[in-house]
Amino acid sequence: MKISLLIPVFNYDIVALVHGMKSAFGKVPELLEIIIGDDGSSADFKEKYKLLEDEHVRVIFSEKNIGRAAIRNKLAMEAKGDVLLFIDSDAMLPGTAEAYLSKWIPNMSSIEVTCGGTLYRDSPPGDPDKLLRWRYGKVREQLAAEERNKHPYARFSAFNVLIGKDVFEKIRFNEDLKQYGHEDTLMGYQLKKAGIYVVHIDNGLLHEGIESNGEFINKSKLGVENLSNLYDIVTDKRTLSGIYSMLRAYNRLNFIGLTRVFASLFIHYRERIEHKLDSGKTSLILFSIYKFCLFCTYREIHIRKKILFVF
């Protein structure tokens, strides 16, 4: 079986990542190709990607930004391999490409979907303006395979995942979610509904794209809004709630009529909480409460079909 390594990218420098992966050609016979999917990047970045092309690497270009789901689907259509290895553009190898790719091989023929995991640097970033994202990733995302396998669909991540091409053709990334956030939650839901087996292994890549506190808070807002939209469009809300813990908490509190209280808390204390989160005094408990209160607020808005205002 052959691997197509697929890297979606938008205005990000992937030169080191691609050169690192290219070193495995000739050492890992299963590696067939590397395909870069440019999602409407600027001319300067497009030129950098073109320079990476050779007999093993090719680039497909999109003239406009079509979104994270659509560019991944486009990459899969272009792939010639039997299995698709998706990695995000802000990933980096913690060791050699040969060691990393070799860990996938035992699972290629027997497991439909395998997630490798996400790693973060042991030392916090020197810039305190990036502490929230780093700490969140270190505590909430960098989990051993044993822990992730307890809830395999909830822990699904497209950051670093191997999917059989025949499986992917049945379950593609949903392109209806246009803005950032919870694409992985939706894919986990689709995989569970389809009865497709998901396994997690310890084969992580380093996540290098650490946003500032403010950027991470704003991205989280988009993600929470998307989760509320997603909750409205799925047909099996029970399965989705079983995957994502925030939805379970919301359903319990909504049953006893308390979600409006949390929405009110968000409206009254949003600025104060955001200021504290952005200050570098990172509290993941406060961040979780903030996101839950925001979700309750969006649910109130969406249920009433009001025009969505910007926080």
- Are 221 and 191 members of one domain? no
Give the integer Cα–Cα distance in Å for 152 and 112: 13
- Which phi and psi angles does 231 have, rounded to 5°? -60, -30
Distance CA 63, CA 206 (A): 29
The domain of 153 spans 3-210
Residues 6+ apart with CB under 8 A from 46: 38, 61
What is the amino acid identity at position 246? M
Given 185, 210, 235, which residue is the final one in a domain? 210
Asked if the structure places residue 141 within a domain, the reply is yes
pLDDT of residue 305: 61
Domain boundary among the residues 177, 210, 243 is at 210
One-letter amino acid at 158 equals: A
CATH number, domain with residue 175 = 3.90.550.10
Which pLDDT value is given to residue 108? 87
The low-confidence residues of the chain, meaning pLDDT below 50, are 307-311
pLDDT of residue 310: 43
Same domain, 166 and 236: no
Distance of CA 149 to the CA centre of its chain: 17
Residues 65, 190 within the same domain: yes
Q: Which pLDDT belongs to residue 303?
A: 75
Closest CA to 134 of 284, 275, 286: 284
**Token pair belonging to 299:** 């649910």
Regarding whether 204 and 170 lie in a shared domain, the answer is: yes
Cβ atoms within 10 Å, residue 161:
21
Co-location of 110 and 221 in the same domain: no
So what's the pLDDT on residue 28? Answer: 97
Do 173 and 234 belong to one domain?
no
What is the length of the chain? 311
pLDDT of residue 9: 97
Q: How many domains does the chain have?
A: 2
